[in-house]
Structure formats: structure tokens, C-alpha cells
Amino acid sequence: MNTSKLEILIKKEDLKNKIKELADQLNEKYKNESLTVIAILNGALFFFSDLLKLLKMPIQIDTIVVSSYDGTKSTDKIVYHKKIVKPIIENQNVIIIEDIIDTGRTMNSVFEYVQSLKPKTLDLVVLASKEDTKTKFKYDYKSLFIVPDKYIVGYGFGIDDLYRQLEDIYIINE
């Protein structure tokens, strides 16, 4: 794996601290409730598993596999490779865990799909959002980090599926 073009952006300690902060907030907000947590894969893989380990309420998990990127370019074509397996989320508290919002196209589609299954509440948490992009995402969400409008890799973020296993997050200098 060629790491010479990578410039560190977010260190694993900072990821850990922010995720712990988020878990504390969720543990407080859903103290006496149960939760369905849906990960958008592959990008949210590590964020999802690190967060889950810190949650204290009864949780069910599910996953959606969707793609819209071709290499480092966002495209209009949103492809669902897998939808949720247990679509019985009516009247449940649901949180969607996503890696990043760039243009917002992917999440508009995913959010509306999950919303159509009539959950009691629906929150979206993303690990990062791009600072300079005018996101077209239409709903409220929480973002743990604001990142520059550059392509990032590591901690689940890949480029053509490479670099996902890195523990920190990097900018790729092309």
C-alpha cells in the first residue's frame, strides 16, 4: 500500500474522544429506550463498531450497502447493494450511522428510504462532513468532524476500497 501521498488529518485519539462524547450523549438521550442502529457500509464500518461498544441501551443493528462514487468522483447514480434485513422499524427509535456527507445525494435517498419505514424517531449521525460543499442534504444531522473539501481515506474511508484499514484519517494528495 503506497502511503507516501497521505497527509494526516484526524488522529485516532481524536476519533476516539469524539465517539465517546457522542456515545455519552446517546446514552443520556435514549436512557430508558431501545434503539435500532443502522450502518451505511462500507465507509461507516469502524465508526459503527466503535460507537456500538459504548452504547448501554438495548440495541438492534442492521446495515445498508449503497454506493454513489466512482473513484474519487461523486455521481448521480445511487446503487443499493443491500437494504435493511429487518424492515420492522415502525415505532422504533432509529439512528443512521454514515461515514460522510459530501453533496448529500446519497443520504437524501437513504434517509427517505428509512423514513418510509415509519420509525418513531429518526436521527442521522455522520463522522464527517465537507466544509466547502454546499450540501443538498435536506434534513437535520449531527456531524462529528468538519473536513476540507478534499478526498479523505482511513478509518473506514476507502478509495476504490483501499486504505480502509488505516487507524487515522488522511487527505490524499493527488
Q: Is 102 a catalytic residue?
A: yes
Smallest distance from ligand 5GP to CB 17, Å: 21
By CB under 6 A, residue 68 contacts ligand 5GP: yes
CA-CA distance, 157 to 129, in Å (whole number)? 13
96, 113, 87, 125: CA torsion to nearest 10: 0
Q: Binding pattern to ligand 5GP, positions 3-32, x when CB under 6 A?
A: ------------------------------
H/E segment holding residue 171: strand 169-172
User: Residues 39, 48, 89, 102: which binds ligand 5GP (CB under 6 A)?
Assistant: 102
Candidate segments 9-17, 22-30, 31-39, 93-101, binder of ligand 5GP by CB under 6 A: 93-101
Query: Looking at the DSSP assignment, which residues form a beta bridge with residue 171?
Result: 7, 152
Smallest distance from ligand 5GP to CB 106, Å: 3
Q: Binding pattern to ligand 5GP, positions 38-57, x when CB under 6 A?
A: -----x--------------
Q: What angle do CA 35, 62, 95 make, to 5 degrees?
A: 40
CA-CA distance, 10 to 100, in Å (whole number)? 14
Note the Cα 13 to chain centre separation in Å: 18
Interacting residues with ligand 5GP (CB under 6 A) = 43, 68-69, 74, 98-107, 151-153, 157-159
